[in-house]
Structure 1
Amino acid sequence: MTGIYNRIGPELTPVVRTLLIVNVGIFAIQLLLSWTIGDFLSLYLGMNSDLVTHHYFIWQLITYSFLHSVQNFFHILFNMFSLWMFGSILENHWGGKNFLKFYLFSCFTGGLFPLILHNLGLHQGTIIGASGGIYGLLIAFALTWPNQELLFMGFFPLKAKYMVIILMLIIALSGPGGNIAHMAHAGGAIGGALYFFYYNKLKPKIPASFSLSRYLQKRKMKKWQEEMNRKIHVREEVDQLLDKISKSGMDSLSRKEKKFLKEASSQYYSEE
């Protein structure tokens, strides 16, 4: 990371650039609607725990993170500033695909945590804002490079772990307010920490050759082999019983043997 901060901020990366464009574009639409017919986007795309729980508006667990308060310009300003400053570096470090997974996962947990609390009786209102994803981003950055010096506001050198704390406080104070935003912040931070643990601690321990589809295929083959072994065993048992019948008649079988012969006949031989 040496030399990245010789200028005011890092070079803008592709995924972060796209996220910035989408967030700012949706904010512009929200502004336009608020001046005309009202910001109904927040009704359908904002995170409303009642709608998610009772009407299955599942998409709101992600879409809320692309909306911002039209009454508070600093809400989107600090979120997008943090996304650019820290997201670009994490994208360079992780790659665009992994970074996008991380960001969306943090946004998801930012919506999931308030939803869980809501259903436990701690009722939540409508949540909007990228702050959940941003908190996850800040947590991941501080855990990855805690002592990296950054230029705070473009002038003051400050270690990442301290700048992250300051920015978290700014985002918390610039949010719509109330417990709603704080619960989303907490959920996003938890999501960021979980993703960091997975990517840096758990994933390296998974063999490079591991493939979920290959694992499922092997598991299916194992079950098939076990089923074939059972059939072979049943056929051997059936052959022994039929041999016994040919020598001594049906009455030579015990009740248990007759029951086994009947079940084996209906279960296995009817399939062929």
Structure 2
Amino acid sequence: MRYNTYYESTAFGIGGSLTRSIKFLIIGCTASFIVGKLFELSGSTFWLDAFGLTPVLVRKYLLLWQLGTYMFVHGNIWHLIFNMFVLWMFGGELERVWGSREFLVFFFITGVCVGLLYFIFASGLPLIVSAGSPYQVLIGSSGAIFGLLAAYGLMFPERTVLFMLLFPMKAKWFVLLIAAIEFYMSWSPSGVSHFAHLSGLLIGYLYLKKEWNLTRLADYYHDRKRRKRVRLVALENEIERQEKDEIDRILDKINAQGMKSLSRNELKILERASEKRKNK
């Protein structure tokens, strides 16, 4: 995705009116939270087991949808409220700049990539970095939201934001401070997946810096198909030219020596050329 950096405004500019995609995500997360709590009140963990991201379940039962659905599952009301608040604070302005479609693409690609990285690094394999136990469930949209934070810092680096809603600082320093805090806290065991937060920041940064987007990938795919078709047409034209030259040679031979001078292979070439002409 191409992005522009906006330097002109340094005023506080957070949130604003609810945009269409922000509404959709808040409604989706809230509805999922309510359904999950109803299951929980009935003594069932079905919602968490089915839609939270548990690496061992994904690997054993191929529950691949968990790589995306975990974003809509939240543990408690404060988990939900905080994530939706930050989503509104930083996501609205990004959506107004990008448009709803590109905003949702960014959000879901970031979230799914975070889920995929968590699945890999919490798989129990002997990797340098471990995201947790393969039996530990990942829930919440904070990974994708941290991707939005990275995007906000890149696009509005001079915008003033409030750290902890109290201390004003530029967005670029705010995002770097959040990243440093998450990295520091990742060394201490807790119920928070700092790995997911850091992964979201990294993926959001790379998505914009490397200009990843679905349209670009689709254009690349269609361009490869077009070039392949051009090569095939060129090859067909070359084959037709060679066949025409061969037929001209055979006809010259007939004029000079008669039909009886033709070999069996030359007769087959004339027969195929005749059939092609009839079919056109």
State whether TM-score is above 0.5. yes
What is the TM-score with the length of structure 2 in the denominator?
0.71
2:12 alignment partner, SS class: helix
Letter in 2 for 1:140: A
Aligned to 1:5: 12
2:161 alignment partner, SS class: strand
Q: 1:85 aligns with which of 89, 106, 119?
A: 89
- Give, in whole Å, the separation in 2 of the partners of 1:245 and 1:53: 70
Residues 120 and 245 from structure 1, CA distance in 2 versus in 1: closer, same or farther, beyond 3 angstroms?
A: farther
- Runs of 5+ in structure 2 lacking a partner? 1-7, 128-132
Aligned to 1:188: 200
RMSD: 4.0
1:138 alignment partner, SS class: helix
Letter in 2 for 1:142: G
Aligned to 1:239: 247
Task: Give the 5 Å matches for 1:1-272.
Answer: 2=9, 5=12, 9-70=15-76, 73-118=77-122, 121=125, 122=127, 124=134, 125-165=136-176, 167=178, 169=181, 181-199=193-211, 215=223, 218-219=226-227, 221-239=229-247, 242-243=250-251, 246=254, 247=257, 249=261
Q: For residues 24-50 of structure 1, give each alpha carbon's deviation from its aligned partner in whole angstroms, at most 9, with x where no partner exists.
A: 221122222212132311211122333
Quick check: 1:110–1:186 contact (8 Å CA) kept in 2? Answer: no
Residues 154 and 50 from structure 1, CA distance in 2 versus in 1: closer, same or farther, beyond 3 angstroms?
A: closer
What is the TM-score with the length of structure 1 in the denominator?
0.73
Q: For residues 113-160 of structure 1, give each alpha carbon's deviation from its aligned partner in whole angstroms, at most 9, with x where no partner exists.
A: 122334681553321111210111111111222231113454432221
The total of aligned residue pairs comes to 252
Residues 28 and 164 from structure 1, CA distance in 2 versus in 1: closer, same or farther, beyond 3 angstroms?
A: farther
- Worse-matched range after superposition: 147-156 or 189-198: 147-156
Aligned to 2:5: none
Residues 54 and 9 from structure 1, CA distance in 2 versus in 1: closer, same or farther, beyond 3 angstroms?
A: same
Alpha-carbon offset, residue 83 of structure 1: 0.7
